[in-house]
Amino acid sequence: MTLAPSVLAADFGRLEAHAREAIDAGADWLHIDVMDGHFVPNISFGVPVMRGLRALADETDTPFDVHLMIEEPDRYLEDFAEAGASVITVHQEACPHLHRTVQAIHALGCRAGVAVNPATPLVMLEDVLGDLDLVLVMSVNPGFGGQSFIPGSTDKVRRLRQMTSGAQTAGAGRPLIEVDGGVSPDNARALLDAGADVFVAGSAVFRGDVAENVAAFRRAEMRTA
Ligand SMILES: O=C(CO)[C@H](O)[C@H](O)COP(=O)(O)O
């Protein structure tokens, strides 16, 4: 399980210290949720805030996992790559020329991800799947942290894993499967069994005791099905 805490749920007044708590507790990636108030009905933050976390990411060798919930993401890819993104994920629903956008992300030296909203069928990714490093299954409607997990998302992960089963290994042919929204230690085991690789968690990491919250994800990982 790759655990990617979403800093959207962190205390922005002490963002670096709060993100450090998650990394020190064993988080693998930092998930950066960028919202523009157009593609989603909320505004979060952009490149300058990510730059503020750059020293921490470099010091701890923690990849930035950038999730662009914005219209016309092509306009900003270079900025996020320069700010240190390892993975850049765009939304299928926001990209009329998705293949071109994926190529542009790769040309910047980043791994390319595509996210699908709960109402978007997986078939929309079929012809681009072979070019992707990651597929993000939204398990809430994007725009806000702290929402309830949509139960059908587990089956969507399972179907996506079947779609990608032609390629064997994650990162070497098979795109990583990331799940985002309402993810917690309570549903993590079922999502792992369904085939998810990367777990985005905002509230379940940053609300309360961060170290204990990360440990609860690790315990869920060890649990037998
Ligand atoms: O992309 C997002 C919202 O659009 C957030 O990453 C997601 O909702 C995670 O937050 P939480 O774990 O609190 O549900």
pTM of the model: 0.96
Q: What is the pLDDT of residues 17-54, one digit of tens each?
A: 999 999 999 999 999 999 999 999 999 999 999 999 99
The confidence score (pLDDT) of residue 172 equals 55
8-state DSSP, 53: T
Annotated catalytic residue within 36, 133, 180, 197: 180
The confidence score (pLDDT) of residue 165 equals 82
Nearest CA to ligand 1 atom 4: 142
All residue ranges of the chain with pLDDT < 70 are 166-172, 225
Complex confidence, ipTM: 0.96
The confidence score (pLDDT) of residue 169 equals 52
Walk me through the domains of the chain, giving residue ranges and CATH numbers: 2-222 (3.20.20.70)
The confidence score (pLDDT) of residue 219 equals 97
Tokens representing residue 174 in the block: 């098979």
The confidence score (pLDDT) of residue 167 equals 55
Tell me whether residue 180 is one of the annotated catalytic residues: yes
Q: Nearest to residue 144, comparing CAs of 9, 27, 10?
A: 9
Which residue ranges have their beta carbon within 6 Å of ligand 1?
6, 8-9, 33, 67, 69, 140, 142-147, 180-183, 200-204
Q: Nearest to residue 19, comparing CAs of 53, 58, 66, 45?
A: 53
Whole-number Å distance, alpha carbon 202 to ligand 1 midpoint, is 6
Tell me whether residue 74 is one of the annotated catalytic residues: no
Q: Which helix (H) or strand (E) holds 23?
A: helix 15-24
Number of C-beta neighbours around residue 96 at 10 A: 8
Whole-number Å distance, alpha carbon 203 to ligand 1 midpoint, is 8
Tokens representing residue 225 in the block: 């099905």
Q: Say whether 109 counts as a known binding-site residue.
A: no
The confidence score (pLDDT) of residue 63 equals 98
What number does the ligand 1 atom closest to the CA of 141 have? 4
The confidence score (pLDDT) of residue 225 equals 58
Residue 184 gets the label, from left (phi > 0), alpha (psi -120 to 50) or beta, of beta
- Residue entry with tokens 């079929």: 126
